[in-house]
Amino acid sequence: MTALDELTKPAASLKNSYIERWKEKGGKVIGYFCTYVPVEVIHAAGILPYRMRATGSTSTELGDIYASHITCTFCRHSLDQAMRGEYKFLDGLVALFSCDHIRRMFDAWRYGKIDLPHSPYYLRCLSIPFKVDDLAVEWMVGEIDRFKQSLESHFEVKITDEALRQSIRTYNEKRRLLKSLYELRKKEAPPINGAEALAILIASTAMPTEEFNQILRRVLDELGERDGFSEYKARLLLGGGELDNPAYIGLIEGLGGLVVSDFLCYGTRDFWDLADEDSEPVAALAKRYIQRISCPRMVDYPERDKFVKDLVKDFKADGIIVQRLMYCDNWGCEGARTQWEAKKDGVPCMVLEREYMMSAVGQMRTRVQAFLETIGR
Amino acid sequence: MEQKYQVHRGLYDVIKTLEEQPLMKMMADWLGGVFSAVDEGKPILFNQFTIFSELMVAMDIQPLSPELWQVVSLQLNPNACCESIDAAQDAGIHPELCSANKAIIGDIMLDKIPPPSMVVLPTFPCDNSKITYQTLGYLTGAPTYFLDCPYWMDEKEAMDYWTNQFRGLISFLEENTGKKMDYDRLTEVVEESNRCIDYWLEGVELLKLQPLPLNGPFTSGYLAGLTSLGLPAATAAVKASRDDLIARLDKQETAVAEEKARVIWFYYPVFWDGGLTPWMAEIGAVIPVGLVGYYNAEPIDTTSPETIIRGLAQRGLQSPMGKQGRGASELWIDDCLHAVDQWKGDCVILASHPGCKWLRGCYGLFRDIARERGIPVMVYDVDLFDPRLTSAEESRARIEQFLTTVVFK
């Protein structure tokens, strides 16, 4: 098996062999719902952070007892999976007010609607600012401290400054390696396509980071030898919120678009910015998480617009697709604004609405095909 | 030259003639202030529907709540928001956005609302609001200030952070108007708003009586909050509403001849359907309290600028919908249960506004609790700003069926 095969596998299922091995050794796993959770703190506690997905879910029957039909399907499927006991490998869960959907889904956990595997179960909803300024960074320092203390108390561990520094180094290393991967995607004939890149990004949140880093180094070596993708109609920048199914990108790439970069949660937003390794670690994390490239939950759109424009230029994108889960308000308006801005720059842009599970494939195929025809070369 | 904002100007012309009624005078003053600001090129500040007006009044800045602008137009024409809603969608705004927000974006696009010089809102209650107001900032170029609210308020640091947001707001207003805050004037304004809120709280309290003296909810306080809280006219309007209740009690007048059910409508009213509440009263169902009238704020200590700013921050956490929407589900659920208990509700009717994801996400948990406590609950789909989803007739049919089969004894 190649290293690339190794790293694209975890995206296909909720659990994977790395998690199983971790659990067999008595390791703890904490699920988290958003890239604004400072995972380094969990890592420094010796716990494996696991980004929540609902991969494999086929219905929302149970989840819909507490979610509404205007809750996004990612949350409905996740809640359904939780109520079916699919996340029993978790020892805790961390969320925040990422959006109205996630905060309400998390309340179902808090209200005891999920059959938890053991008691006490670690549950925490972080209070993460929406603004990007010095006050917000200061608040975040306190919030990370409180988060750290609660993990220490619940799991009876000590999170030392040195452990935090080491975690920052480990995650920075992951982010640097991912940036190297994205550098390859700038080539005229990138050796990796968008579906594969997304699968790697998913793996980066579903296995021990140290192991991930080792394998990703091998992937980078392999890709140096691999023929590039040159038969494409258009180079695309893919944006939007939650997207954890490489098959969606497969659909776009099957029609001749090549996704060369992104502004996704499983993507640049998660790894583009590093934490300072030399500062006091909590302060470094606070700064990194507040000042990183934001998502529309943050009231910081001019910076986001600039980031998208830079990506278009740096990756020589011919067009932008903003994929959006139905009922997601943040990406609804953000998608419209991205279109308006792209239009000013003469960059074709479309918003593609979708559900969490692959559905309405024919309609999506038609829309993508038409979009590619308008921009294809 | 054709004058802009004809609908609102027309309404202004009508209510100006009714100025002997304090509530009409308050609303006429507000609309008149908006038009004066437009005509004289004075700054207009968009205050989102949870931001009350004291700081603007103290700095002589004209507040214009865009949501209230929509509500006003719906009083004349139930379809008043449709054109703007459609314009926003046509421009690429997603259809699932709250229709109030779509209407505001569309109003800006169609030049149906005066453009803001500044925009102010908190980071609650919902994604709709946060992302819409970012979009408004983008479309109008108006500087936008967000009051960033922590998710949990149980730690001292949270209140300090929130209070600092108000300090930042004052700086923002100063920077964007070139004026300094006059703290003596702010003290006067807050003393006036304390008086006004006393009347508001009294009015809300009087609606706990059985039978209900007047069909509620008590809305004048909230209208004052959005338009002119801190001005004597606002205090006079709310006092008049309170006095009206007292007068009815003295004369032993009641909202309906036979009170068959007290409905806790713990959300906003269906703004385009002004006839709904009177119709409910006709069949014996009264509404003693709703989210608009549900308010519980402490008087602000005016001994120093610091106590005032902290008081405004504390009060900022109590605004209707803001309080319930800023954090976890229990903020809304507990208040709704409190309303049932205190206003002696026989049932809860919840309008299920299609854009309102944060609140819809509470309903499932609330249903479980209500079932355990034996509180009948009806949730029904209706758009508060757009009559095209559920007609007035359909609304009435659903409500009547629920009341007659489940609630009326």
The count of structural domains within chain B is 1
Query: Does a structural domain hold residue B308?
Result: no
Closest-CA distance of chain B to residue A358, Å: 20
Q: Which of A136, A326, A335 sits opposite B148 (nearest CB)?
A: A136
Q: State the pLDDT at residue B2.
A: 60
Q: Place B3 in a pLDDT band, splitting at 50, 70 and 90.
A: confident
B123 and A299 in contact by Cβ < 8 A? yes
End-to-end Cα, chain A, rounded Å: 36
∠ Cα A127 A132 A138 (to 5°): 60
Q: Check pLDDT > 60 for residue B1.
A: no
Summarize pLDDT for A325-356 with one digit per residue, the tens: 999 999 999 999 999 999 999 999 999 999 99
DSSP string spanning A19-80?
Answer: HHHHHHTT--EEEE-STTS-HHHHHHTT-EEEE---TT----TTGGGTS-TTS-HHHHHHHH
Which of A110-114, B186-190, B241-245, B326-330 is predicted least confidently? Answer: A110-114
Cβ-based neighbours of B250, under 8 Å, separated by 6 or more = none
**B254 touches B211 (CB < 8 A):** yes
* Residue found by looking up tokens 């309303």 in the block: B339
Query: Does a structural domain hold residue B42?
Result: yes
B361 and A107 in contact by Cβ < 8 A? yes
**A323 touches A352 (CB < 8 A):** yes
The residues with which A92 forms a beta bridge, in sequence order, are: A30, A122
Q: Where do the domains of chain A lie?
A: 3-161, 188-273+293-375
**The token pair that represents B322 in the structure block:** 């803001």
Same fold, A3-161 and A188-273+293-375: yes
Cβ-based neighbours of A228, under 8 Å, separated by 6 or more = A187, A188, A189, A190, A191
Residue B409 CB-density burial (10 A; 0-12 exposed, 13-18 middle, 19+ buried): exposed
Interface of A with B in 274-333 (CB under 8 A): 296-297, 299, 301, 324, 326-327, 329-330, 332-333
Summarize pLDDT for A34-91 with one digit per residue, the tens: 999 999 999 999 999 999 999 999 999 999 999 999 999 999 999 999 999 999 999 9
Range(s) of the domain holding residue B81:
6-179
Q: State the pLDDT at residue A377.
A: 67
A-to-B residue pairs, Cβ atoms closer than 8 angstroms: 141
Rg over CA atoms, chain A = 20
Give percent of chain B with pLDDT exceeding 70.
100
Q: Place B409 in a pLDDT band, splitting at 50, 70 and 90.
A: confident
User: A3-161 is classed in which CATH architecture?
Assistant: 3-Layer(aba) Sandwich (3.40)
Query: Does a structural domain hold residue B103?
Result: yes
Mean pLDDT of B294-299: 91
CATH number for the domain harbouring residue B146: 3.40.50.11890
> Average pLDDT, whole number, for chain A?
97
A103 and B328 in contact by Cβ < 8 A? yes
Q: Which of A113, A126, A130 sits opposite B123 (nearest CB)?
A: A130
| B144 close contact with A: CB closer than 8 A | yes
A113 and B365 in contact by Cβ < 8 A? yes
Q: State the pLDDT at residue A119.
A: 85
- A188-273+293-375 CATH choice from 3.40.50.11900, 3.20.20.140, 3.50.30.10, 3.90.1150.10: 3.40.50.11900
**The token pair that represents B345 in the structure block:** 């509700």
Give percent of chain B with pLDDT exceeding 90.
96
Going A263 to A269 to A270 to A274, the CA torsion angle's sign is: positive
Q: Check pLDDT > 60 for residue A11.
A: yes
Interface of B with A in 158-177 (CB under 8 A): 158, 161, 164-165, 168
Q: Check pLDDT > 90 for residue A156.
A: yes
Q: Place A118 in a pLDDT band, splitting at 50, 70 and 90.
A: confident
Closest CA to A337 of B349, B175, B136, B295: B136
Mean pLDDT of A255-269: 98
Write out chain B residues lying below 8 Å of A135, CB-based. Answer: 148, 161, 164-165, 168
Q: State the pLDDT at residue A237.
A: 98
CA distance B406 to B403: 6
What is this model's ipTM?
A: 0.96
Query: Does a structural domain hold residue B344?
Result: no
* Residue found by looking up tokens 């919908």 in the block: B321
Query: Does a structural domain hold residue B43?
Result: yes
> Average pLDDT, whole number, for chain B?
96
Summarize pLDDT for B56-115 with one digit per residue, the tens: 999 999 999 999 999 999 999 999 999 999 999 999 999 999 999 999 999 999 999 999
End-to-end Cα, chain B, rounded Å: 60
Q: Check pLDDT > 80 for residue A363.
A: yes
Query: Does a structural domain hold residue B245?
Result: no
